[in-house]
């Protein structure tokens, strides 16, 4: 792993961006981000399947998860 810019997005099941959680330069290591379930306008999203998308210089990774309210 390398330090560098990281962008973390939440996407809905159709791949549309719900919110960008973070866009910053990160050192190597473990980090924690908590998403409270709000979209980019501050509205609550419904329960369902979402993707966390991690974009770095090395590529993009998407992880599927279930959000329950």
Domains delineated in the chain: 4-67 (2.60.40.4070)
Whether the Cβ atoms of residue 19 and residue 40 lie closer than 8 Å to each other: yes
Task: Quote the pTM value.
Answer: 0.89
The model's pLDDT over 12-40, given as tens digits with 9 standing for 90+, comes to 999 999 999 999 998 888 889 999 999 99
Q: Is 25 exposed, middle or buried (0-12, 13-18, 19+ CB in 10 A)?
A: exposed
Whether the Cβ atoms of residue 3 and residue 27 lie closer than 8 Å to each other: yes
pLDDT surpasses 80 at 51: yes
pLDDT surpasses 80 at 1: no
Question: CA 4, CA 33: separation in Å to the nearest integer?
Answer: 17
Average pLDDT over the chain reads 94
């Amino acid at each position: 792993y390398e330090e560098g810019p990281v962008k973390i997005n939440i996407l809905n099941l159709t791949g549309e961006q719900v919110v960008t959680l973070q866009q910053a330069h990160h050192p190597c290591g473990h980090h924690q981000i908590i998403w409270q379930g709000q979209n980019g306008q501050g509205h609550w999203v419904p329960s369902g399947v979402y993707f966390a998308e991690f974009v770095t210089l090395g590529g993009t990774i998407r992880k599927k998860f279930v959000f329950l309210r």
